[in-house]
Amino acid sequence: MDELNALFGGFAVALSGYHLMFMVIGITLGVIIGVLPGLGGANGVAILLPLTFSMPPTSAIILLTSIYWGALFGGAITSILFNIPGEPWSVATTFDGHPMAQNGKADEALVGAFTASFVGAIFAVCLITFLAPVVAKFALKFGPAEFFAVQFLTFASFIGMGRGSPFKTIASMCLGFALASVGLDGVTGTLRMTFGQDELLNGFKFLVAVIGLFGIGEILCSMEDGLKFNGAAAKLRMDAVIRTWRQLPRMWATFLRSCIVGCWMGITPGGATPASFMGYGIAKRLSKRGDNFGKGELEGVVAPETAAHAAGTSALLPMLTLGIPGSPTAAVLLGGLLIWGLQPGPLLFVEQKDFVWGLIASMYLGNVVGLVMVLTCVPLFAAILRVPFSIIAPAIVFVCAIGAYTVNNTMFDVWMMLVFGVMGYLFNKLRYPLPPLVLALVLGDQAESSFRQAMLVSQGSVGVFWSNWLCGSIMTLGLVMAFWPALQALRAKLSGNAAIARAA
């Protein structure tokens, strides 16, 4: 019951006219970011972060999370109307969304996608409301060994649940750790990997990496493809809303499955993108109308959108309670909290009650405001894509440069942004996953110092990670995750051999 009381207190904070205005501004910006190629949730929030330095933290986080919700909603618009996923997590939405638009059912697809996003997000927020305080209370007892175990599990999940080559995931992740170790060593104060360059004293800033990898990298990809927009017209009449909503209740099982998959993938940092693919895949396998998937089935729009939003929202749970973000965008928000002088982690729930509950309440309200806004303003947002790309591309590079400069007020960061941009383009092309790199860059220092502290306590024995059941089971789960692809390969080989033996 404490949670409910605290939540109502939070609503009182979030429901002021001032904060509602921020929500509307944030969602508008977010949808624009989501619609435009080259700007996504992570780098969009990173670029706008400097504008919030002078705001009170609660208002600032409401603005930034609203941008995040907007970006999540916005990705669906371009996927359905133009077959161009504005965000990686809306790729799965194009499978059925665009065929629906070609069949003249664009309005139903859009309403279905927005409603599904809303349901997924609200499910995840409910989960956060009741689970976050419990996790935070639990985490107060964590020592360095436990923190390292959780961080280990975070990174092992990338290997275990990634879709591409596990070795590319490892390479990308370790590069993030290596970049994070550049600069002043937090424990001993020695300089590492600077080779006498003053610019490297502060190390590589992850916000610069996010802006370069996602922003500039994406622009390069879009330029290479030579963007062509030829889309369906967006007309949304109110009767389409009612028509679609009537069809939705029979999909309750799909909703529920996608919500659960999404929340799981969001809390363990699988992220929204794999969640959307998993949501789609599961629905296709289990639905009665699974054979129609890919030809324009409403359920095929609902499943990935619900999962993506549930994952995107629940990624904030480990960020708030443990200080470990579940997605690159959550990592950027974590960076924001640190800049405003708030230390994310279990203590946040004790020391900054108003902030936490204001934020959680704003998640409910932000999604309601977002749903109303996107349902009413789709044609307006779709019109953004009529702006020629030769204006959008250089303008985005300019905005990215501003974002990179304001991180630390140095031009060196802007140059680094260009370098990271080329890297982002190459990694994208060759299917090196980017989120592990970003998260390793964010958590590298923390993971290293908790590892070293744990080692100090145990005087160098790795046994400390199995010294109690909690830490031990997290570590064991992490090891299973890390070696999951190897286990899968082994099992495939064994069953393959068995099949050959039977055939012979």
Partner 1 sequence: MSSHEEAEGRPLVSYRTLDIAVTIFFLIVTAIVMTDSLRLGISWKPNEGPQPGLFPFYIVLAMGIASLINLAQALPHTADGEMAATTVPGLKRMAAIFVPAVIFVLATHYIGIYVSAAVYIGAFMVFFGKFAVWKALAVSLSIAIVNFMMFEVWFLVPLPKGPLEAALGY
Binding footprint of partner 1 on the chain (CB under 8 A): 50-51, 53-54, 165, 167-168, 170-171, 174-175, 177-178, 181, 185, 187-188, 190, 192-193, 195, 216, 219-220, 223-228, 388-391, 393-395, 397-399, 401-402, 405-406, 409, 411, 414-415, 418, 421-422, 425-427, 429-430, 432, 448, 451-452, 455-456, 460
Specify which residues 192 forms β-bridges with: 183
Choice between 216 and 348, CB closer to partner 1: 216
Choice between 124 and 227, CB closer to partner 1: 227
Q: At its nearest, how many Å lie between partner 1 and the CB of residue 221?
A: 9
Q: What is the distance between the alpha carbons of residues 398 and 204, in angstroms, rounded to a whole number?
A: 21
Specify which residues 73 forms β-bridges with: none
Choice between 286 and 426, CB closer to partner 1: 426
Q: What is the distance between the alpha carbons of residues 490 and 193, in angstroms, rounded to a whole number?
A: 39
Choice between 184 and 470, CB closer to partner 1: 184
Which residues make Cβ contacts (< 8 Å) with residue 322, sequence separation at least 6? 135, 139, 147, 150, 344, 345, 346
Which residues make Cβ contacts (< 8 Å) with residue 442, sequence separation at least 6? 180, 206, 325, 331, 334, 335
Choice between 4 and 430, CB closer to partner 1: 430
Which residues make Cβ contacts (< 8 Å) with residue 465, sequence separation at least 6? 145, 148, 149, 454, 471, 472, 475
Q: What is the distance between the alpha carbons of residues 183 and 198, in angstroms, rounded to a whole number?
A: 9
Q: At its nearest, how many Å lie between partner 1 and the CB of residue 336?
A: 15
2-39 burial: b if 16+ Cβ within 10 Å, else e: eeeebbeebeebbeeeebbebbbebbbbbbbbbbbbbb
Q: At its nearest, how many Å lie between partner 1 and the CB of residue 171?
A: 4
Q: At its nearest, how many Å lie between partner 1 and the CB of residue 416?
A: 10
Cα distance from N-terminal residue to C-terminal residue, the chain = 65
Q: At its nearest, how many Å lie between partner 1 and the CB of residue 319?
A: 23
Choice between 52 and 129, CB closer to partner 1: 52
Choice between 278 and 482, CB closer to partner 1: 482
Q: At its nearest, how many Å lie between partner 1 and the CB of residue 167?
A: 4
Which residues make Cβ contacts (< 8 Å) with residue 342, sequence separation at least 6? 57, 348, 352, 355
Q: At its nearest, how many Å lie between partner 1 and the CB of residue 502?
A: 30
